[in-house]
Amino acid sequence: MAGAEQQRLDLDDDDPQARAVEATAHWIMRAREITGASAARLPVPAVRFDLRGRAAGQAILSRRRGDCAIRINAALLASHPREMLAETVPHEVAHVVIHRLCGRRAKPHGAEWKALMRAFGVEPAPCHTLPAEPTRRLTRHRYRCRCDEPAWLTSIRHKRAQAGTTYLCRQCGETLVAAPEAG
């Protein structure tokens, strides 16, 4: 991002969500200038701050209605506003723009997306490098088979196994059986 644009978008970090909405509109305007697309073809997408976990952002690309949205991880935005505004917002806007202009034939981080990111002046990296902790930790349940070592299933797979799904050991191929709880 150019220095003046960077300062304009980052001056007031008191409300990073408002800055993210502004930055989204800014990058859509830049995309219109770069591609020559109209406002009707590239409307400003809705911005939601409901993304959790390790992902910094996500572009929601509607196939039927044509409306798109951008989801931003509010926790990462609050802790790393400059990086999120400088990297994540243009990253997700580029996904929306390429989807609207090229449709499904364009790969998510393909040549078109990379070219637009470079035109934005942002390094086209497919993933962020911000420190992010998972929002939940899955409990692991002990299972046994012929092997000496126990197998471990997450709580999701454990519930499925309790409901009748069969899981096989990757080593010996035997059906995994829930081990008694150590107590």
Per-residue pLDDT of 156-181, as tens digits, reads 899 999 999 999 998 899 999 998 87
Per-residue pLDDT of 63-89, as tens digits, reads 776 689 999 999 999 999 999 999 999
Per-residue pLDDT of 100-151, as tens digits, reads 999 888 898 999 999 999 999 999 988 887 876 665 667 889 999 999 899 9
| Residues belonging to the active site | 92
CA dist., res. 75 & res. 87, Å (int): 16
3-state secondary structure of 163: coil
pTM: 0.68
- Unique residue bearing structure tokens 């960077």: 6
Residue 22 vs residues 1, 6, 89, 162, 180: alpha-carbon distances, Å:
14, 12, 10, 49, 56
Tell me if 153 sits within 8 A of 140, measured CB to CB: yes
Kindly tell me the burial class for residue 75, based on how many C-beta atoms sit within 10 Å of its own C-beta (0-12, 13-18, 19 or more).
Answer: middle
Domain ranges of the chain: 3-120, 140-178
Q: Answer whether CATH 2.60.40 is correct for domain 3-120.
A: no
Q: According to DSSP H, which parts of the chain are helical?
A: 3-10, 16-35, 74-79, 81-83, 89-102, 111-120, 155-162
CA dist., res. 163 & res. 181, Å (int): 18
